[in-house]
Structure 1
Amino acid sequence: MKIFPAIDIKDKKCVRLVKGDFDNKTEYEMSPVEQAGKYKDHGFKNLHIVDLDGALTGEMVNLDIIQEIVSKFDIKIEIGGGIRCFESIKKYIEAGVEKVILGSAAIKDKVFLKEACEKFPNKIALGLDAKDGYLSVSGWRENSNQLTLDYLKEVNDYGVSRLIFTDINRDGMKQSPNFEETSKIADIANCPVIISGGVSSIDDVKKAKELNNKNIEGIIVGKAIYDGDIKLEKLVKELDA
Structure 2
Amino acid sequence: MNLENQVKQALQERGKEVIIPLELKGKVMNQIVESKTIKRRMPMKKRLAVGIIAAALLVPTSAFAYQSILADGIFGSFENLKKHGTALTIDGYMTFNAKLMQAKGELGEKEYGKFKESLRVITNAKLEYGNKYGNTDFDQMSSKEKAKIERASMELQPYFDKLNGDISSKEILTPEEYEQYIEALMAYEKVLAQANIDTSKGPVEAEKLPKELKEEFQQAKNFLDYVSEKQQAIKE
TM-score (norm 2): 0.30
User: In proportion to residue count, which structure has more strand?
Assistant: 1
Which has the higher relative contact order, 1 or 2, with Cα contacts under 8 A spaced 6 or more apart?
2
User: In proportion to residue count, which structure has more helix?
Assistant: 2
TM-score (norm 1): 0.30
Which has the higher Rg, Structure 1 or Structure 2? 2
